[in-house]
Each structure stands twice: as C-alpha cells, then as structure tokens.
C-alpha cells in the first residue's frame, strides 16, 4: 500500500456576515420611494448542530478504507490532508481539541504525571474554560461519549463542567469488558459488548432524545477507542483486509538514517518477525475502523430521519497520527508526517462537496470553527483559526491563509536513551514552500522540503541554512505565543 499524495480537500461555510449579505440581496423598491415599506430584517443565521467523531491514533491513509465516511462526509464536504495534530500524543491533543490552545498554553504536555494526564487537566481549571462550557452558555445541549483523556479513571464522582450528558471510558481502556463513568456513576459494560457498537447505540439514543428539545441546538462528541493499539475488531469484520499491510512508502524501515537525529539512529532495522507484526496490527486497525465507519452511517441516517441533517455540521478526525514503520518508528510523537498528519473531514450544510484544498489546518482550529458555527464570538484564549472561510463559495488562496503552525512535543526522560526527546518546530504550507523544521532538546535539527523530499528521507539542514535560521526564529515566536497572537 502506498501513501496518498500530500493534498487537501475542504468545504467552507459562508461566514455569518457574508451569509447575511447574500440573504438580504439587492434590488427591490428604493427605501426612499413613498410606496415602499421598510425592508424586513433578515433572520439571523441559525446556530448549527455539531456532531464530532474523534478516533484514537489513526494515521491519515487508513481513512480511505472507510467507504461510508468517504461517501457521507468526504464526498459531501471537505477532506483536509494537510491537517496536523500540533502535539502528536493523545492527552495533549485532546486538551487542545477541547480548549483551542496549544499544549504550551494549556500545559497538558504528556499522557501521565507529572507532565500531563487527566488529573493535571482537571486541577488546572482548564475544563471550566473550554468548548462545552462555551457552547452550553450559548444555549447548546452538550454530550460526550467515549474516551476522554488519558488517566481518567474510576472515582471521578462528578462529570466535567459544560456537559449535559456524560459517558467517559475509565482506565484501563479496553475494547470489551470496559468500564465507564456515566454522569458521575462508575459502571461496567454489558457482557460481551464491543465498545464501538455500544457507543453507536448510546449516540443514537442521544439523538432521539434531542427530538424532545427540537428548538435547542446540540453538540455531540463521540470518541471511540478504535483503532488504538492493540486493535480489537468486531467479529463480523474478521475476514476483511486479509492481504493488507502497513503502507510501504520509501520511508518504511528506512535503510539509511544517517541524516536523522541520534534517537532515530539508535533504532535497528526491522526483523521479518517485526514486519509481520506491523502488518498484522495495521490490518487489525483497518478492521477496527469498520465499526466506526458503520457508526458514521447510522448517525447520518438518524440525523436525516429526524430532519436535522441539513442543519448539522459533521467532523471526522483523529487525535493524532501514527507511524507504522516509517523511519523505523512504530509510535506517534515523532515529527514525521505519519505521526503529525491526521485524517480530517468536515461536512457543512450548504458548503461545497468533495473539495480538496492544500491549506494548512490543525486540531487546534476545531474549537474556533465550532464556536463560529454556534454564532458566538471566539473566546480570547482560543489560539486556533475558524475554518469557515475555507467553506466559502470561493476558497481563499493558500497564500492568503495561515502560512505556518507550531508543532511541539515534551519528554521528561533521559535524552540519551528516550524514544523521542522534547522538540518544537514549524510546519509550513504557504503556496510556495511546503516544509517542516524541528529542533530537538538535544540541539539536533531537522529540515525537510516536502516538494523535493515528500517522504522525509533526507534532512536538508546543512544545505538550507537560510530556511533553517528563518524557521528557527519563527519557532521561537510561536512557542511564546498566547491567545490571539497565535492565530
């Protein structure tokens, strides 16, 4: 299997102001005419319902093996292939998705204490100034179903602020025989129930209940554990993808890593047994995603049956990517496309369909986009951009969009032995330059020109000193940003 080209599809919504301008139109009797009545004011745009499906550790290429998602979201909306996770690790990414802040601002830097995990997120007070709170204050009914953030365990007696309906999986995570907290009560799953199927049932129940409050917009976020390693799939999908394997790009089990930093050089080339395990796990991850694909179909069908589809935005994405053997690496966290890139597909009522665009977007942008759909001003702390201009009838050129974005990752172990040391860097996509610059805590640097080197095979730090110096300065600026200065 080969990796898809670095392209992007997207479908933008009309901004509220442009919507009103077009709705009001032009022409008709002149207001100065004695016989004309004052024009009626156009009704304010109705806030959109929002449904978000967030998978766990899904590398971007695997989304092409989700036919229902492709037909019901991608073909009806936008595919963003230059979408990234600004910190490619579960807990920091999920805090970014809920807060609209970079990890250096929300300070949830890892999955476990002392750098991160749920306890740190809760104690920071960040939950009180986050997406569900903003939406609830704007009149939304809110619901969270699925994996919340790493370290969320039994004994958390109350649901976090802002959520009307709350069902969050508790540690340890499992595909069957799982535990969860529902509205402050610790419970166990029904015997033999497959986690994604259980989430589908509960999400459909939630949508049916929204009919009782048909005049109230809703926000539903569903976060299955799939396809997180080690992937477990529903038995009905056991026969699928029997010949599939991890993508075989030139970077797979990279033969020569002399251009890479020391922590990559320490990784040996794969044995045949390791390659078999990598392929088996990738195959199982594709199987696990099929239940998510079925979930998407059932949710769309339910929205249509309830008459809500034409007023509901649907987002499908993953918290971060995952390397399945590129550069000898088999994890997330790396500053390589396989870990940074995420599948991101958005369907918006009235937006373009099946559009591909090359604009640089990130998980950081989703809260700003959702509050825009809710017709409320962006809270001051939000550091991402609303994507609604990208859904306009005429998409702005890449040169008029964000030219770059910060990527960052933290590790508090010994840099001489760690799998991935702390780094910060800049991802660039401005219509002319398509590149990534990274500086590790070890003072080692990497620079890749994606146009010349799409698979990041040869770090070009030595041959591009001007670009490296410029992006190093830009990295320092972004790493110090807060609030609107990050946008």
Predicted confidence (pLDDT) per residue in 173-207, tens digit: 999 999 999 999 999 999 889 999 999 999 999 99
Q: Read off the pLDDT of each residue in 438-452 and give the average, rounded to a whole number.
A: 97
Give the per-residue pLDDT at 393. 83
What CA dihedral angle connects 397, 382, 12 and 363, to 10 degrees? 90
CA-to-CA distance for 394 and 374, rounded, in angstroms? 22
Average pLDDT for residues 433-439, to the nearest whole number?
98
Contacts of 461 (CB under 8 A, 6+ apart): 445, 446, 447, 468
Average pLDDT over residues 220-225: 98
Give the bridge partners for 315, in sequence order: 52, 346
Cα–Cα distances in angstroms (integers) from residue 23 to residues 17, 45, 308, 347, in the given order: 10, 10, 21, 21
Shortest CA distance to 15 belongs to which of 452, 468, 373, 316?
373
For residue range 1-48, what is the model confidence (pLDDT) as tens digits? 444 444 333 333 333 333 333 333 333 334 444 445 556 555 667 899
Q: Which two tokens stand for residue 141?
A: 């009914």
Tell me the C-alpha distance between 106 and 428, whole Å.
23
Going by pLDDT thresholds of 50, 70 and 90, the confidence category of residue 119 is very high
**Contact (Cβ atoms closer than 8 angstroms) between residue 178 and residue 167:** no
What's the confidence (pLDDT) of residue 364?
98
**H helices of 51-194, where?**
67-69, 90-99, 103-106, 118-123, 131-137
Can you give the pLDDT at residue 120? 94
**Predicted pLDDT at 9:** 34
Each residue's pLDDT tens digit, 267-305:
999 999 999 999 999 999 999 999 999 999 999 999 999
* pLDDT score recorded for residue 156: 80
Burial of 107 (0-12, 13-18, 19+ CB in 10 A): middle
pTM of the model: 0.91
- SS3 of 190-234: the string is CCCCCHHHHHHHHHHHHHHHHHHHCCCCEEEEEECCCCCCCCCCC
* Averaged pLDDT score across all residues of the chain: 91
Q: State how far the Cα of 267 lies from the Cα of 226, in Å rounded to an integer.
A: 27
């Amino acid at each position: 299997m080969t990796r898809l080209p670095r392209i992007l599809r997207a479908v933008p919504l009309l901004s509220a102001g442009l919507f009103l301008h077009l709705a009001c139109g032009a022409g008709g009797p002149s207001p100065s005419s004695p016989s004309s009545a004052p024009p009626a004011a156009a009704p304010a745009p109705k806030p959109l319902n929002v449904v978000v499906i967030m998978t766990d550790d899904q590398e971007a290429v695997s989304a092409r093996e989700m036919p229902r998602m492709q037909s019901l979201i991608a073909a009806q909306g936008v595919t963003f292939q230059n979408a990234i996770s600004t910190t490619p690790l579960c807990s920091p990414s999920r805090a970014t998705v809920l807060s609209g802040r970079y990890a250096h601002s929300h300070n949830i830097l890892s999955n476990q204490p002392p750098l991160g995990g749920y306890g740190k997120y809760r104690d920071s007070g960040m939950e009180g100034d986050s997406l569900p709170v903003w939406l609830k204050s704007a009149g939304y009914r809110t619901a969270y179903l699925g994996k919340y953030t790493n370290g969320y365990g039994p004994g958390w007696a109350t649901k976090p602020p802002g959520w009307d309906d709350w069902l969050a999986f508790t540690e340890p995570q499992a595909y069957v025989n799982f535990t969860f907290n529902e509205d402050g009560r610790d419970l166990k799953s029904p015997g033999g129930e497959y986690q994604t199927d259980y989430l589908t049932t509960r999400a459909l129940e939630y949508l049916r209940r929204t009919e009782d409050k048909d005049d109230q917009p809703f926000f539903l976020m569903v976060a299955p554990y799939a396809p997180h390693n080690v992937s477990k799939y529903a038995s009905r999908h056991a026969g699928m993808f029997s010949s599939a394997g991890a993508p075989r790009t030139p970077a797979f089990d990279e033969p020569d890593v002399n251009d890479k930093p020391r922590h990559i050089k320490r990784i040996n080339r794969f044995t045949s047994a390791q390659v078999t395990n990598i392929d088996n796990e990738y195959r199982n991850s594709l199987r696990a995603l099929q239940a998510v694909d079925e979930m998407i179909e059932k949710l769309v069908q339910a929205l249509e049956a309830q008459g809500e589809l034409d007023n509901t935005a649907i987002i499908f994405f993953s918290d971060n990517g995952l390397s399945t053997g590129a550069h000898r690496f088999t994890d997330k966290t790396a500053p390589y496309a396989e870990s940074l890139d995420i599948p991101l597909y958005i369907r918006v009522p009235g937006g373009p369909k099946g559009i591909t665009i090359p604009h640089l977007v990130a998980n950081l942008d989703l809260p700003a986009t959702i509050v825009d759909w809710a017709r409320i001003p962006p809270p001051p702390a939000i550091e991402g951009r609303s994507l609604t201009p990208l859904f306009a009838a005429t998409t702005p050129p890449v040169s008029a969009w964000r030219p770059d974005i910060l990527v960052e990752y933290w590790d508090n172990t010994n840099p001489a032995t760690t799998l991935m040391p702390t780094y910060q860097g800049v991802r660039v996509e401005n219509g002319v330059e398509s590149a990534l610059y990274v500086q590790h805590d070890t003072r080692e640097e990497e620079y890749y020109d994606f146009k010349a080197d799409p698979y990041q095979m040869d770090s070009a730090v030595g041959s591009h000193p001007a670009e490296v110096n410029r992006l190093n300065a830009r990295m320092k600026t972004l790493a110090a940003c807060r609030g609107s200065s990050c946008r």
